[in-house]
Amino acid sequence: MTELLQQLINGLALGAIYALIALGYTMVYGVLRFINFAHSDIFMVGAFSGYYLARAVPQASVMAGVFVLLGSMAICALLGVIIEKLAYRPLRGRSTLTALITAIGVSLLLQNLGQRIFGANPKSFPTLFPQHYFQFDSGLVIASNQILVFVVTLVLLFALRHIVLNTRIGTAMRALSFNPTAASLVGVNNDRVISFTFALGSALAAAGGILYASNYPSIDPLMGTLPGLKAFVAAVLGGIGNIAGAAVGGLVLGLVETTVVALGGSTYRDAVAFAVLILILLLRPNGLLGKRQAEKV
Amino acid sequence: MIQPRIRILAAALAGLALLTGCSKSGNGPAAAADTIKIGEFASLTGKEAAFGQSSHKGTELAIEQLNAAGGLLGKKIEFVYEDNRSTPGESATIAKKLITRDKIVALLGEVASGRSLEAAPIAQASQIPMISPSSTNPKVTETGDYIFRVCFIDPFQGKLLAQFAKKTLKAGKVAVFSDVSAPYSVGLAQFFRESFLADGGQIVSEQKYTGGDKDFKAQLTAIKGTKPDAIIVPGYYTDVGLIVAQARQLGITVPLFGGDGWEAPELLQIAGAEALEGTYYSTHFSPESTEPLAQKFVAAFKAKYSGETPDAMAALGYDSVMVLADAIKRAGSTDGPKVRDALASTRDFPGATGATTLDAKRDATKPAVIITVKDGKFQYVETIAP
Amino acid sequence: MLPRSQLALLGALAGIALVSFFSGSYDPYFLDVAVSCGINITLAVSLNLINGYTGQFSLGHAGFMGVGAYVAAMLTTAASATLLPLLGGQQWLLFAVALLAGGLGAALAGFIVGVPSLRLKGDYLAIVTLGFGEIIRVVLQNIDAVGGPRGLIGIPAYANLLWAFGLAAIAVYVVWTMVNSTYGRGFIAVADDEIAAEAMGINTTRYKITAFLVGAFFAGLAGGVYAHFKQYIAPQGFGFDRSIEIVVMVILGGMGNTTGVIAAAILLTVLGEWLRQFGDFRMILYSLLIIVLMILRPQGLFTWSLPRRKAS
């Protein structure tokens, strides 16, 4: 029973991280209909930013943690804006596949630059937030970092929801997602809104990176690929473009993956995410929380 | 509309011919033989870049030192190396290029047994000696008599770990947690298992992970349930660090142990000194070793690479060059067959990783050391002779 | 008198046979690069059928290559003891049978991938095919009988210049004649506007499946040739990175432009070798190339018109 409970906690914690990364994907896709392949590598840059920023602050204190978290979110927001301006903006209006290939190119570039600049050796991520392990008599262990992931994900989830639903720029983002031409006709500055969307998405990726690295303190330039892909699956699972969906999708995927591993299929764990993706696209293409959308011709 | 397309195609084919074919005629004898060319193929980018870069740094340091001391046989060494991107298929092409175009006299590589196996037949067929720094799959040297290695092989290490578990750790029941994506890990686990079972031990759990995974809690929780006396994790430090940390977090207090894949200074940082207390691993080499040669190597490495501490891969990369250089000196020539014979008769060569002897199967027999972590530092426990 | 395309094929095959007759005197490195070119041409042209002509964005092509490689390799290694005598001890015959089996296995995989993908378009299709490619890789990694992650060694060296380029010539011929026939117009219709095509009575399902089947089949054949040339295969070599390499060839050549794709395959193979001199920067330059290419010339280097925009 304890083992089951432990696996449950593990699954939820893993899922919460996927949810956090998925938020960024789903948002960019929701507004721009574009899968930002490089999202997973911005996640990686976020983790590395945290690694270097952490040198300026004492370890294991809440202040340090918050500083590094916000710092790397800012760095990655900037990075996201730069990437959008240089690589994606020239492709506005072209086919989505061109944009997808470019995104793959950016992703490869970030990975290889990372290996060159940071070195390929995994580095140990410093302790940012104070670490506690809550041990129960039954043998159950919950790490404070796991709780932290839940808390931060929830906070960011609500913050994002607030921005999208209750602010001017959020309304502009939603307008853009419905029809970019119409949006610009009513006075929305598309360029600015898109930059903002990328900045926001990248900041979320960075937060994901910091929390991921806090739970699995070994970072390397290729760390983003798999979590990124799985987070994308989570976003689709929950209904892409749907913020709450990203959270639900993430948790479900985390649980499914942990279950598969617990049942002895750990070597198939990566394939699980893809199998889930294929299943959901076949059975319920709009995701668990998505709405049916008829395609107009 | 056919015309422009045919022209493009013809141009492309001509380009191909020019670019790669034109050197066909330039294949004279080793041009102006005033340098000795040594080649290396390594995974400098891609998934296993950590190990390839490490090994490469050791190799580069060795060649630099040799050149500073006057080179080999009075000539400078020209170091030609290529990156195989950790991708299958590249190593074969690189081996062909290095041998036929760059005219190397010997080939160094690779860290991973799979990629070594890819290039070995090519080196063998061209009678170019090849030395692998750390491929541990027995099949590598079985390819032919021109293929050598300076590390011990999985059967040896597996056996010694089994003995260590039984005698020193007094563990009757062991859980095995291996990396299914690394031939090294699978091989080591297999030989450990055979030895341990033959010794009367019991394997209570066998779990697997894929190299690069970050979350091992599910498998560790399952292992915990089987109540082993010890857990062997015959994988690479890149994953072991997290595994040990997570094991401790889950409340697993029994000793964890493993092989030379654990050897790296980062291990202490990733896992944390606390988690590593009471863990053990076997290795060729340790930066804490008091052997003078090892110390010299560590100091030189730190000097060249901005204070970075070398790991086992780097030390083995270094030794692969030194063993080769020694063989070339003894052979008095760079002629393939002569160097091969000299290599085959390497006895007790003083390397950074210990006294290296290349046996009849061209594998290195050398003592292994067991290291543990105590009070936040790596500590030597014992030496196990072959 | 045979139609022009068939004459061209026979002429090409004869030329290739002549060139490969002398392959003993070429240096091994040149041979390696040349054979790689041949294999890449087959891969690129087969992907072009799926991506370029039929507009089905597939990012998992290397998975089909992998299936073909493993099936063929298993037949020539593990099963050779039983098969060889049946075929009169002729090694080239064993190789041909192995290749075909690999191609058929890959085609089966293509079918399995194609059917669920029918309803998907654009980005989703891309990700799902990527997913399938990765699933194939993970499955291969878990089959211990073929060596799992350690890979399969000791594959006999049956492949040579003739096989590599001969296969490429056949692949080009098949794809070219398929697409340039009346039936073949259907592929392009599906790419242009699927809904309109359906409305016109074209069985888009059939075209899409056919594209996947034929594309996967040739990728499988290419995989078999690859396996018997490198003599060592491992699942990691048939993953996403390899798929992207092939996709870039198709994009560089111009989606739906067969001659362009052939030229691009050769160019990129040779470029890969040329970039070796830059050591660590090779991959950085390669990824920059992709980005610059998509921004400046998304229609590829060898297409003279802009890519077709979607009707909406």
Cβ atoms of B356 and B150 within 8 Å: the answer is yes
Question: How far apart (Å, rounded) are the C-alpha atoms in residues A221 and A115?
Answer: 6
Tokens of B343: 């290599």
| CA atoms of A99 and A89, how far apart (whole Å) | 9
> Across the interface, which of B15, B96, B113 has its CB nearest the CB of C29?
B96
Decide: helix, strand or coil at residue C306. Answer: coil
Kindly determine whether residue C131 and residue A270, on different chains, have CB atoms separated by under 8 Å. no
* Burial of C58: CB neighbours in 10 Å, binned 0-12, 13-18, 19+: buried
Query: What's C193's DSSP letter?
Result: -
> Which residues in chain C are closer than 8 Å to B53, comparing Cβ atoms?
none
Count contacts between A and B (CB, < 8 Å).
Answer: 92
- Nearest by CB to residue B250, choosing from A141, A220, A267, is A141
CA B380 – CA A75 distance, rounded (Å): 43
For residue range A179-212, what is the model confidence (pLDDT) as tens digits? 888 888 888 888 899 999 999 999 999 999 999 9
Pick from A112, A123, A218: which is nearest to B242 by CB? A218
User: Mean pLDDT throughout B35-41?
Assistant: 93
Angle, CA B78 vertex, CA B74 and CA B79 arms, to 5°:
135
Give the Cα separation of B130 and B104 in Å (integer).
11
**B212 Cβ under 8 Å from any chain C Cβ:** no
Picking from C123, C134, C247, the nearest residue to A271 by CB comes out as C134
Q: Which of B171, B160, B382, B136 is nearest to B256 (CA)?
A: B171
| CA Rg value for chain A | 19
Query: Which of A99, A112, A273 is closest, CB to CB, to C287?
Result: A112
Give the minimum alpha-carbon distance from A182 to chain B in angstroms, rounded to a whole number: 42
> Contact at 8 Å (CB) between B64 and B297?
no
Q: Is the pLDDT of residue A244 over 90?
A: no
Asked if C94 and C81 touch (Cβ cutoff 8 Å), the reply is: no
Q: What are phi and psi of C234, to 5 degrees?
A: -145, 150
Distance from CA of A93 to the nearest CA of B (A): 29
- Ranges of residues in chain C whose predicted pLDDT is under 50: 310-312
Contacts of A297 in chain C (CB under 8 A): 195
Task: Inform me whether the C-beta atom of residue B83 falls under 8 Å from chain C C-beta atoms.
Answer: yes
ipTM for this prediction: 0.84
Question: In A265-288, which positions are buried (b, 16+ CB within 10 angstroms) versus exposed (e)?
Answer: bbbbbbbbbbbbbbebbeeebbbb
Cα of B252 vs its chain's centroid, Å: 30
Point out the least confidently predicted range of A260-269, B60-69, B290-299.
A260-269
Do residue A10 and residue B269 have CB atoms under 8 angstroms apart? no
The pLDDT value given to residue C188: 84
Where b means 16+ CB within 10 Å and e means fewer, A16-27 reads bbbbbbbbbbbb
Q: Is B347 left (phi over 0), alpha (psi -120 to 50) or beta?
A: beta
Q: Which of the residues C138, C226, C236, C277 would you substitute to probe the B interface, choosing the one with the greatest number of B C-beta atoms within 10 Å? A: C236
In chain A, % helix, strand, coil (3-state, to 5) comes to 75, 5, 20
Look at residue A138 and tell me whether its pLDDT is greater than 80: no
Which residues of chain C make contact with B189, given a CB cutoff of 8 A?
none
- Quick one: pLDDT at residue C310? 47
- Residue in C closest to A235 by C-alpha: C124
* Distance separating alpha carbons of residues B297 and B307, to the nearest angstrom: 13
Averaged pLDDT, A7-22: 88
- What is the rounded CA–CA span in Å between residue C85 and residue B168? 55
Determine how β-strand B130-132 pairs with β-strand B106-108: parallel
DSSP code of residue B72: B
The answer, yes or no, to whether residue A260 has pLDDT greater than 80, is yes
Determine whether the interchain pair B88/C32 forms a contact, defined as Cβ–Cβ distance below 8 Å: no
Residues contacting residue B372 through CB under 8 Å, at least 6 positions apart = B278, B279, B280, B378, B379, B381
Alpha carbons B160 and B167: distance in angstroms, whole number: 10
Task: Please tell me the predicted confidence (pLDDT) of residue A294.
Answer: 53
Q: What's residue B26's pLDDT?
A: 37
Averaged confidence pLDDT in chain A: 87
Of C120, C123, C287, the CB nearest to A105: C287
* Record: contact A122-B245, CB cut-off 8 A: no
Residues in chain C: 312
What tokens were used for C250? 């198709």
Q: Taking an 8 Å Cβ-Cβ cutoff, which residues of chain C contact chain B?
A: 26-34, 36-37, 141-142, 148-151, 153, 226, 230-234, 236-237, 241-242, 259-260, 262-263, 266-267, 270, 273-274, 276, 279-280, 282-283, 302
A101:C132 CB<8 A? no
Percent pLDDT > 70 in chain A is 97
Name the residue among B126, B38, B113 with its Cα closest to residue B82: B38
Strands B368-374 and B280-283: what pairing?
A: antiparallel
Q: Average pLDDT in the A38-47 region?
A: 95
pLDDT at residue C311 in the model: 43
The 10 Å Cβ neighbour count of residue C301 is: 16
Measure C310 CA to nearest chain A CA, in Å: 7
Residue C148's pLDDT is 81
Lowest mean pLDDT across A52-66, B22-36, C143-157: B22-36
pLDDT at A95 over 80: no
- Whether chain A has a CB inside 8 Å of the CB on B54: the answer is yes
The pLDDT-based confidence of B30 (bands split at 50, 70, 90) is: very low
Is residue B317 classed as helix, strand or coil in its secondary structure?
A: helix
The two three-digit tokens of residue A151, written as one number: 């808390």
With CA atoms as reference, report the closest residue to B217 among B253, B250, B180.
B250
Encoded tokens for A196: 């903002």
The verdict on B265 touching A (C-beta cutoff 8 Å) is no
Helices (H), chain C: 4-21, 28-47, 61-76, 80-86, 91-117, 122-142, 161-179, 185-192, 194-199, 204-230, 240-253, 258-274, 281-296
Determine which of A2, A3, A6, A263 to mutate to test the interface with B (most B C-beta atoms within 10 Å).
A6
To the nearest whole Å, the CA of C267 is away from the closest chain A CA by 18
Query: What is the band of B95 on the pLDDT scale with cuts at 50, 70, 90?
Result: very high
Candidates A39, A237, A281, A295: best to mutate against C (most CBs of C within 10 A) is A281
Does the pLDDT of residue A295 top 60, yes or no?
Answer: no
Contacts of C201 (CB under 8 A, 6+ apart): none
What are the residues whose beta carbons fall under 8 Å from the beta carbon of B306, sequence distance 6 or more?
Answer: none
C231 and B85: CB-CB below 8 Å?
A: no
User: Angle A160-C126-C144 (CA atoms, 0-180°, nearest 5)?
Assistant: 110
Which residues of A fall below an 8 Å CB-CB distance to C? 33-35, 87, 90-91, 94-102, 104-106, 108-109, 112-113, 115-116, 229, 232-233, 236, 267-268, 270-271, 273-275, 277-278, 281-282, 285, 295, 297
* Residue A65: pLDDT over 90: no
Q: Does B314 touch chain A (CB under 8 A)?
A: no
Q: B120 in helix, strand or coil?
A: helix
Nearest one of C74, C40, C59, C19 to C244, comparing CA atoms: C59
The vertex-B223 CA angle with B219 and B229, nearest 5°, equals: 150
Query: Which burial class, exposed, middle or buried, applies to A82 when counting CB atoms under 10 A from its CB (0-12, 13-18, 19+)?
Result: middle
Q: Do A102 and C127 touch (CB under 8 A)?
A: no
Q: What is the pLDDT of residues B233-291, one digit of tens each?
A: 999 888 999 999 989 988 899 999 999 888 887 888 888 888 888 899 998 777 777 77
- Within its chain, how far is the Cα of B123 from the centroid? 18
Q: Using alpha carbons, select from C137, C103, C92, C105 the residue that is nearest to residue C234.
A: C137
On the question of pLDDT at B7 being above 60, the answer is: no
DSSP result, C126-175: HHHHHHHHHHHHHHHHH-GGGTGGG-EE-------HHHHHHHHHHHHHHH
- Given a cut of 50, is residue A127 above it in pLDDT? yes
Task: Note whether B169 and B230 are within 8 A (CB).
Answer: yes
Least confident of B110-114, B198-202, B258-262, C83-87: C83-87
Distance CA C39, CA C223 (A): 8
Please give the residue of chain A at the shortest CA–CA distance from C137.
Answer: A271
Does the distance separating the beta carbons of B210 and A266 come in below 8 Å?
yes
Cβ proximity of C205 and C119 under 8 Å: no
